[in-house]
């Protein structure tokens, strides 16, 4: 397991990305990872009216879920980061059931917005992680403190099989060991207590990296599709300005 520090200047990361591009090197990414839109945000404010309107268009589960989420986020607005993490992590882990995209959406891989996931009442690891990510952005968590991380999750003990999985990592400082928010384990644990997870690559609003370290995985603007779509949906639904 290698949870390298997240610290890196954008200039340094970009320079290293160019060097690796010239050398013809590319990170080994999962198929649904080739999707990126380079966007940066300041502290986001939740737009309750947009969220309510979007929820009504999706259905009653989205409406009740959105209202419950708004209430929780309002209570967390002035809380410390750890309280925000715990509140958002608990909200989605308790409210949602884990189901594969094929069962929920009839597709092998679908990146749902938070309200779409609340309407279904279920989702896969990506849906859990992204719902937490956008909700934390909406409650004012600085985007540079969070990364969505694709990992290989060991199952069946040492030497057993592994499966692709996504978690949300929180860095209190750039050099700190991250805390891991996961739908498989209810409590938030430091990465050192998750030996079952091996990072493959990570991303957030500011870039895309190999593992969770400072090494850039190239120009993020070349990776669009699903990530761009889920960002647009999250914005339309009031999670982003």
30-47 tens-digit pLDDT: 333 333 333 333 334 689
88-144 tens-digit pLDDT: 999 999 999 999 999 999 999 999 999 999 999 999 999 999 999 999 999 999 999
pLDDT at res. 73: 96
Cα–chain center distance at 116: 15
**How long, in residues, is the chain?**
241
Please determine, for residue 7, whether its predicted confidence score (pLDDT) is greater than 70.
Answer: no
Domain 10-236, what fold?
Answer: C8orf32 fold (3.10.620)
Q: Are 202 and 12 in contact (CB under 8 A)?
A: no
Please determine, for residue 5, whether its predicted confidence score (pLDDT) is greater than 50.
Answer: yes
Domain extent listing, the chain: 10-236
Q: Are 38 and 220 in contact (CB under 8 A)?
A: yes
Half-sphere exposure of 206 (CA within 13 A, CB side): 17
Q: Are 178 and 128 in contact (CB under 8 A)?
A: no
147-204 tens-digit pLDDT: 999 999 998 766 678 899 999 999 999 889 999 999 999 999 999 999 999 999 888 8
Which residues touch 132 (CB under 8 Å, ≥6 apart)? 88, 89, 92, 168, 181
pLDDT at res. 183: 96
> Mean pLDDT, to the nearest integer, of 57-79?
96
Please determine, for residue 55, whether its predicted confidence score (pLDDT) is greater than 90.
Answer: yes
Cα distance from N-terminal residue to C-terminal residue, the chain: 36
């Amino acid at each position: 397991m290698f949870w390298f520090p997240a610290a890196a200047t954008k200039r340094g990361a970009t320079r290293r990305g160019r060097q690796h591009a010239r050398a013809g090197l590319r990170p080994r990414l999962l198929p649904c990872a080739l999707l990126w839109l380079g966007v940066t945000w300041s502290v986001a404010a939740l737009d309750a009216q947009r969220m309510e309107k979007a929820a009504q268009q999706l259905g009653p589960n989205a409406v009740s879920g959105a209202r419950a989420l708004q209430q929780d986020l309002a209570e967390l607005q002035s809380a410390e980061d750890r309280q925000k993490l715990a509140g958002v992590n608990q909200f989605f882990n308790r409210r949602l059931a884990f189901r594969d995209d094929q069962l929920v959406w009839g597709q092998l891989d679908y990146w749902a917005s938070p309200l779409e996931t609340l309407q279904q009442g279920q989702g896969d690891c990506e849906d859990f992680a992204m719902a937490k990510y956008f909700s934390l952005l909406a409650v004012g968590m600085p985007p540079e403190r969070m990364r969505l991380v694709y990992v290989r999750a060991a199952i069946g003990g040492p030497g057993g099989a592994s499966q692709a999985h996504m978690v949300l990592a929180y860095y209190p400082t750039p050099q700190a060991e991250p805390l891991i928010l996961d739908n498989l384990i209810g409590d938030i644990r430091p990465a050192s207590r998750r030996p079952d997870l091996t990072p493959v690559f990570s991303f957030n609003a500011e870039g895309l990296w190999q593992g969770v370290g400072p090494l850039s995985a190239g120009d993020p603007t070349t990776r669009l599709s699903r990530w761009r779509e889920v960002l647009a949906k999250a914005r339309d639904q009031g999670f982003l300005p």
